Structure 1
Amino acid sequence: MPLPEMDSGVGHSFGLEFDGVQIKSITEISGLKMEMDVIELKENGADGKYVVKKLPGRWKAPEITLTRGLTEDNSFDSWIKDSQFGKMNDVRKGGAIIVYDYEGAPVKRYKLTNAWPKSLEISALKAGDTSVLTEKLVITCERLEVE
């Protein structure tokens, strides 16, 4: 059931989808940011007064961090390994980050263009610790758009 128009969504669960492969066990996503440079044009107006105009510049590509619990799934591992060996034709992927509602229906999709992994970090390993082990994948892309 979709949310009423004036209600906000709740980040119930998230997923990553590349080339038809879905990873739904993501617990945190940060860095979803659409931003562009601002160009300042400084000139004197017709009346001789100093004027600063702000114009849109180039899009900035975001770095997005995905966190999930450590599992036997090695999709993050193999993706980062391919990028380390320079297989960029295989590594650059188009896909989306999907936000799901409490019933599992997609609420919003964020399309990624030419995304590839920059780094993979495993949480600290401490003897006797009872916290969940996680892996953080940082991906960069050429463009982020809302679908």
Structure 2
Amino acid sequence: MPIPDFNSAVGHSFGLEVDSVMIKQITEVSGLKMEQDVIEYKANTPDGKYAIHKMPGRPKAGEVTLTRGLTADNSFEQWITSSRFGKMGDARKGGAIIVFDYEGMPIKRYRLTNAWPKSLEISSLKAGDTSVLTEKLVITYEAMDVE
């Protein structure tokens, strides 16, 4: 029996790839999930008992939150500006969230379809504070595939 490789399950760093541009400074990814509706089918069994059967329904759209340290890179701001002014043709993009191992090799790729930024939040600005300033980008998407 082969020994499982537990090291490959450790996400060392994360990246966002949009329009063939890679942003590797992502420090946290939350809310990444695939979900679908549940359809309940109620019926009677052949012996007359009441039964509920559950079946998969339509997939649901999702949202994911990406956090990175605040830098001079303004790609997040440019992207959300397109959606704020209704330029959805420019705002909707295909992209992927990539999990890298400690050697920088991709472990998993979560491909997002018709993704666009819903909100951008800058961490609290406090004079004299020594914590790292961050920005959180919430991206909504219509579908997600795992590669």
Pairing of 1:7-46 with structure 2 (within 5 A): 7=6, 8-46=8-46
Alignment of 1:1-147 (within 5 A): 5-7=4-6, 8-147=8-147
Displacement of 1:6: 3.8
Q: CA deviation at 1:86?
A: 0.5
Count residues in correspondence. Answer: 144
Distance 1:100 1:46 in 2: 53
Looking at structure 1, the residues matched to 73 and 124 of structure 2 have their Cα atoms a distance apart, in angstroms, of 19
Quote the RMSD (CA, aligned, Å): 1.1
Q: Which runs of 5+ in 1 are unaligned?
A: none
- TM-score, structure 2 length as denominator? 0.94
SS of residue paired to 1:17: strand
The unaligned stretches of length 5 or more in structure 2 are none
Q: Which consecutive segments of 4 or more residues in structure 1 shift more than 3 A?
A: none
Distance in 2 of aligned mates of 1:95 and 1:128: 37
Q: Quick one: distance in 2 between partners of 1:72 and 1:42?
A: 57
Distance 2:35 2:115 in 1: 16
- Using structure 1 for the length normalisation, give the TM-score: 0.94
